[in-house]
Amino acid sequence: MTPVSRVSFVGAGPGDAELVTLKALRRLREADVIVHDRLVPVELLGEARADAELVDAGKAPGRHCLGQAEINWLLVDRARRRGRVVRLKGGDPAVFGRLAEEIDAVRAAGIPFEIVPGVTAATAAAARAGISLTERGQASMLVLASATDHTGRASGSVDWGLLARAEGTLAFYMGVRALETVTASLTTLGRDPREPAILVERVGHPEERIIAARLGEIAAAARAAAAESPAILITGPTVAAASAPLSVRRVPAGAAAPADPVVVEA
């Protein structure tokens, strides 16, 4: 019998397996092949059928298990030969997940596909820190930006002047290596260096840490704490209410956000 081909691009969320949707779980349990990223929750892979093929396509800074062209070929090949393929991506597949390239490959091959959204790192990090990303009268704009380009260098395509003037919340993905460049670009062009900021490392994982400081000092605080990828930087007026001290804090996975807000001294 010819297999029914379909590629499902599924969001695995930021690290907490309980944050996935019911549809994501159903697709994982139905899949003949699961092609997954490096940081997806291990518990989700445990939902696969015993006879499902699991392929680690994970990328790490400076190391690639599979190139993008190889991943594109793999999705098409497995869909044709095996049938139902899940491309399991960390966070939300449509947010800095190179989704468009993979869709183009699947569409060009004439294979049906679908996108199953997931919780992205910015919303998960805000939830863990106990803050809102928007607030009436203070933050009516939310900007999701990549701090680095495809080479790992500070992004040259970002309009730093626009972000420096934006009256709202800024969330920078993939920002650890470029943190000093990001914060210096914003403050040099007019964003208040005293604005509260947090860097949330390994959102939703057991090793999650929240580093809180002023925008002008967060890079030094992260360096002192030896922060590593993956981490997301969030800055803006609502961050002052974050449930973390002005230091490094570990938040146990599954725990509620602490009640005490950040206190940033003048």
Spatial distance between the Cα atoms of 204 and 243, rounded to a whole number of angstroms: 15
Q: Is the pLDDT of residue 60 over 80?
A: no
Among 207, 148, 150, which Cα is nearest to 174's? Answer: 148
Domain 121-250 falls in which CATH fold? 3.30.950
Q: Which two tokens stand for residue 108?
A: 């060009």
Task: Calculate the average pLDDT of the chain.
Answer: 87
- Domain range summary for the chain, segments of one domain joined by +: 6-116, 121-250
- CATH code of 6-116, in short, is 3.40.1010.10
In the chain, the N- to C-terminal Cα span, in Å, equals 70
Annotated catalytic residue, options 23, 59, 149, 192? 59
Which of 107-116, 144-153, 187-196, 252-261 comes out lowest in average pLDDT?
252-261
Inter-residue contact 51 to 31 (CB < 8 Å):
no
Annotated catalytic residue, options 16, 37, 89, 92? 37
Longest CA pairwise span in the chain (Å): 70
**Per-residue pLDDT at 149:** 66
Strand segments (E) across the chain: 6-11, 33-36, 53-56, 59-60, 63-64, 84-89, 113-116, 142-146, 169-173, 196-201, 209-214, 231-235, 248-250
CB contact burial 177-203 (16+ within 10 A = b; e otherwise): bbbebbbebbbeeebeeebbbbbbbbb
- State the average pLDDT over residues 4-9: 94
Q: Is the pLDDT of residue 259 over 80?
A: no
pLDDT tens by residue, 91-111: 999 999 899 999 999 999 999
Q: Is 37 a catalytic residue?
A: yes
Q: Is 23 a catalytic residue?
A: no
pLDDT interval class at 139 (50, 70, 90): confident
Q: Residue holding tokens 């460049």?
A: 181
